[in-house]
């Protein structure tokens, strides 16, 4: 009888400790919800700002030794400032250890962040090259507007899908957050 009780306690401890190995709902919210704020809501605005920086001469990228900054092209700036924006976020999301309830959130978030990463690594470079080549403002605005109207719409839907899962999960688990 004493062995049964010890065994049951031992088994309970193992089950509880496995559950404690999962990341908390607050950690899930921090990694996914807060980092999702990095996703641009308007690509057109991003490229207007990039053009302004180019016009001001304030586009900067690191020197080869990474010890100082030097003037850069739009393509160099996009590669440096946007090329790895989501790389660490994707790694952190993949590393999350969550209970069954949060797995759809992680899957949906990975889809969102990988799509945003793809846009920044491909489409951003195309429009940055247009700026460097001196294309007209109209051509650049049209390209960035087209990006907003195509991939931007899908990106917004992916973002909404994440929030539809994440916010109720956060509410259910007592995670405090503010929406704006």
How is residue 36 annotated by DSSP?
G
pTM confidence score? 0.82
Spans of all domains in the chain? 23-172
pLDDT tens digit sequence for 48-101: 999 999 999 999 999 989 899 999 999 999 998 888 889 999 999 999 999 999
Cβ-Cβ contacts under 8 Å for 10 (sequence gap 6 or more): none
Tell me the pLDDT of the chain averaged across its residues. Answer: 89
In SS3 terms, 49-101 reads as: HHHHHHHHCCCEEECCCCCCEEECCHHHHHHHHHCCCCHHHHHHHHHCCCCHH
CB 177 within 8 A of CB 170: yes
Q: Check whether 5 has a pLDDT greater than 80.
A: no
In sequence order, the 6+-apart residues with CB closer than 8 A to the CB of 158 are 108, 111, 112, 115
Q: Which of 153, 42, 167 is nearest to 109 (CA)?
A: 167
Confidence of residue 16 (pLDDT cuts 50, 70, 90): very low
């Amino acid at each position: 009888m004493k062995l049964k009780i010890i065994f049951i306690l031992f088994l309970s401890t193992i089950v509880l400790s496995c559950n404690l190995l999962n990341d908390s709902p607050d950690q899930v919210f921090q990694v996914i919800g807060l980092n999702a704020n990095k996703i641009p809501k308007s690509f057109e605005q991003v490229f207007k700002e990039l053009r302004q920086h180019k016009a001001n001469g304030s586009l900067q990228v690191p020197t080869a030794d990474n010890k100082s900054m030097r003037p850069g092209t739009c393509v160099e700036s996009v590669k440096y400032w946007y090329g790895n924006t989501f790389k660490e976020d994707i790694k952190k999301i993949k590393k999350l250890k969550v209970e069954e309830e949060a797995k759809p959130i992680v899957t949906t978030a990975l889809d969102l962040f990988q799509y945003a990463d793809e846009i920044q690594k491909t489409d951003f470079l195309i429009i940055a090259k247009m700026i460097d080549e001196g294309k007209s403002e109209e051509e650049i605005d049209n390209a960035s507007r087209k990006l907003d109207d195509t991939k931007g719409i899908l990106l917004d839907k992916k973002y909404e899908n994440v929030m539809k899962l994440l916010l109720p999960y956060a509410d259910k688990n007592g995670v405090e957050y503010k929406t704006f």
